[in-house]
Amino acid sequence: MKVLVIGGGGREHAIVWKIRQSKRVKKIFCAPGNPGIAELAECVSIGVEDISGLAEFAQREKIDLVVIGPEMPLAIGVADELESLGFLVFGPSKRAAELEGSKVFAKEVMNKFNIPTAWAEVFTDPKNAMDFINQKGVPLVIKADGLAAGKGVTIAEDLAAAEEAVRLAMKEKIFGEAGTRVIIEEKLEGEEASILAFSDGETVKLMVSSQDHKRVFDGDRGSNTGGMGAYSPAPVMTDALLEQSLHGVLLPVVRGMKKLDRPYRGVIYAGMMVTANGPKVLEFNARFGDPETQVILPRLETDLVDIMEAVIQGKLSEIELKWSPKPAVCVCLCSGGYPGNYAKGKIIRGLSEVGKAEDVLVFHAGTALSDGKIVTSGGRVLGITALAEDIGSAIDRAYTAVKIVDFEGMHFRSDIGSRAVKRGQT
């Protein structure tokens, strides 16, 4: 079997790493990939939004399975185009992926099918938005409607922060057309968790729980990012809460999407807030999370290709998902200045040494090759994932590995997994 993975970040590196373990796979291509992925697959210089280029390559190479990693190609219909040409594609259609592509649409779906979430109001005029904020008072959450690479959400604790969020999204257009509409919603209190599942449009099967760390600094301070690290499992999600999330959130949304003639096949990801009144949905994503994938897939023992094929063929009910009991922790190493402006081209040292560490995986996110050396090329540069017998040992192993790697301006959070430790998971 020949597989084409679309994307070039840490999530796609983890996907390629897991697919390579399948005995059914003879060759993996990745478009565009990165230097870490290039050690496992053949990287091809085709952009994730180049629909015709991707289609031509898949036809020329007679690809058997296409796996779409990032949200943008899903949102513009890459899956639809490749499916129309007869390819097996893992990833939802454009109409299904709108669940992530439009927060307004997602909120409408949640309200229509009685899925627990925060109350919200939608605005297309910045003055009306500010009038509402002044009337309602803070804290509030301001979200750009469209895709903003995980950075379109502001938790406004004061009026100045709320006003700035509205101005940047709607007037300055820092997120482009994604900020044409904003949602202003209730700030939910509790602890966040990421619930990912496979769906074939009928059956939904949960993955192991995980927890992302969105804020840039320790103690959940600073700006939102694409994710500074993750761990799995997340003890806040008890077995009872997982069942509640499956039957109260994921199954209703998948069944609801079918009723809307938007059958959902692929990964469905619910960002949840565990409140005093039970879990409520913060957002939906239409693909594997990043960096959650870097702690979930290392725990997966079932052949990922078998799962993907079952999802595409509507046979997910026939697949049993098996997971390692070992917890996993991922620490993201980032460029100085991220999630704001940052320099590129900084030489990364220690990669060969850290790659030899026991139960440690290095996933490349924002790296490039320059004059034979691997250098930084993105905000999130590497994900260092470690597995161990318990969460405390996994944390220690991950941070021991982090100390081996270095590049100019490197920064990272030093408290990934701390919530699990506080809950008595050692």
Banded pLDDT at 422 (limits 50, 70, 90): confident
243 lies in a domain? yes
Cβ–Cβ contacts within 10 Å for residue 352, how many? 10
Same domain, 282 and 252: yes
pLDDT tens digits for range 181-224: 999 999 999 998 999 999 999 999 999 999 999 999 999 999 88
Write down the H helix ranges in 246-303: 251-259, 293-296
We report the CATH number of the domain holding residue 364 as: 3.90.600.10
Domain carrying residue 45: 2-91
CA-to-CA distance for 271 and 193, rounded, in angstroms? Answer: 6
- Is 113 within a domain? no
For the chain, the first-to-last Cα distance in angstroms comes to 41
Sheet holding 140-144, edge to edge: 120-123, 182-186, 140-144, 153-156
> Residue 50 and residue 39: Cα distance in Å, rounded?
24
**Whether residues 259 and 291 fall in one domain:** yes
How far is 209 from 420, CA to CA, in rounded Å?
12
Instruction: Name the percent of the chain lying above pLDDT 90.
Output: 93
Label residue 152 by pLDDT band (50, 70, 90). Answer: confident
- What local confidence, expressed as pLDDT, does residue 401 receive? 97
Q: Which residues pair with 267 in a beta bridge?
A: 198
Average pLDDT on 282-296 reads 96
Q: Which amino acid does the sequence have at 276?
A: A
Task: Specify if 98 maps to a domain.
Answer: no
- pLDDT-derived band of residue 424, with 50, 70 and 90 as boundaries? low
Structural domains counted in the chain: 4
Mean pLDDT to the nearest integer, 404-409: 98
pLDDT at 426 over 90: no
Question: Per-residue pLDDT tens for 232-275?
Answer: 999 999 999 999 999 999 999 999 999 999 999 999 999 999 99
Inform me whether the pLDDT recorded for 425 exceeds 60.
Answer: no
Task: Name the domain boundary from 91, 108, 137.
Answer: 91
Label residue 13 left, alpha or beta by phi (over 0 means left) and psi (-120 to 50 means alpha): alpha
pTM (two decimals): 0.95
**Same domain for 62 and 160:** no
Residue 306 and residue 212 share a domain: yes
Mean confidence (pLDDT) of the chain:
96
Is pLDDT of 280 > 70?
Answer: yes
